[in-house]
Amino acid sequence: MTTLTAQEAYRLWAPRYEPETAVSFLENRLVASLGPPLAELRLLDAGCGTGRRLRDAGAALGVGIDLTPEMLAGSGGGLLAAADLRALPLHDAAFDVAWCRLAIGHVADPAPVYAELARVCRPGGTVVVTDFHPAAVAAGHRRTFRDADGRVREIEHHVHAPEAHASLAAAAGLRLHARREGRVGPVLRSFYARADRLGAYEEQRGLPLVLALAFRRVVP
Ligand SMILES: C[S@@+](CC[C@H](N)C(=O)[O-])C[C@H]1O[C@@H](n2cnc3c(N)ncnc32)[C@H](O)[C@@H]1O
């Protein structure tokens, strides 16, 4: 199977991206569990895709950026712009909360991503980063989607160990305050059942699929 770059893959996946997968469903539950309540807050979603998470977030201000214009095109509006995670076209300390959800694994070197997330988050604010779990990759899972012809396509993914996330974040001035793992378990059973893969479900029970990290920007 040829591996597609992230931009090529999401260009193809964009029209059919929104239905939840097992990974995105698990990830969304993890992020909800990490808080904080967003009602009064300015929220950035860096690598926002279609902006679907911003739509439901209920933040006072929601801004999204993404590398793939086709993903943004399906968003139905909102404050979204095409940009790279490694060079955010945003002011310093402009947000109370900055998310980077299931996007950092598409970047070979996460250091500039952490530097940018820390820069645009106000001191004392929260940065939430989620990633496809290294244990899932080690178990043979890959980041894939079906294209318009129904072919399974693989997306470029770079494995970043939890410790690498934490040390790069620390170097950027972010202190880890919560780490969660989303594992194969009963909340995902229906996804496996729909794909007629209950045998795989039993085999994979307990396997971590998603890593979620929450950081506070250190107050100087
Ligand atoms: C799995 S999707 C996640 C989208 C969204 N965060 C969500 O949870 O629905 C990954 C997204 O990361 C974006 N992406 C990949 N590399 C990027 C980069 N260097 N800068 C900005 N966005 C990037 C892709 O275009 C894609 O929309």
pLDDT tens-digit readout, 24-70:
999 999 999 997 899 999 999 999 999 999 998 999 999 999 999 99
Q: Where does the pLDDT of residue 77 fall: very low under 50, low under 70, confident under 90, or very high at 90 and above? A: low
Burial class (CB in 10 A: 0-12, 13-18, 19+), 182: buried
Q: Name the phi and psi angles at 158, rounded to 5.
A: -115, 130
Neighbour order of strands in the sheet with 42-46:
79-82, 61-66, 42-46, 95-101, 121-132, 208-217, 174-183
Q: Which domain holds residue 124?
A: 3-217
Task: Please say if the pLDDT value at position 154 is more than 90.
Answer: yes
Q: What is the DSSP letter of 2?
A: P
Q: Average the pLDDT over 133-144 and give the result.
A: 96
pLDDT tens digit sequence for 80-119: 999 999 999 999 999 999 999 999 999 999 999 999 999 9
Task: Please say if the pLDDT value at position 74 is more than 80.
Answer: no
Domains identified in the chain, total number:
1
CATH number at residue 196: 3.40.50.150
* Selection from 46, 21, 30 nearest residue 142 by Cα: 21
Q: Write out the two tokens for 187.
A: 């909340």
Query: Mutation test of ligand 1: which of 85, 113, 129, 142 has the most ligand atoms closer than 8 Å to its C-beta?
Result: 85
Distance (angstroms) between ligand 1 centre and the Cα of 15 equals: 14
The rounded mean pLDDT for the chain is 95
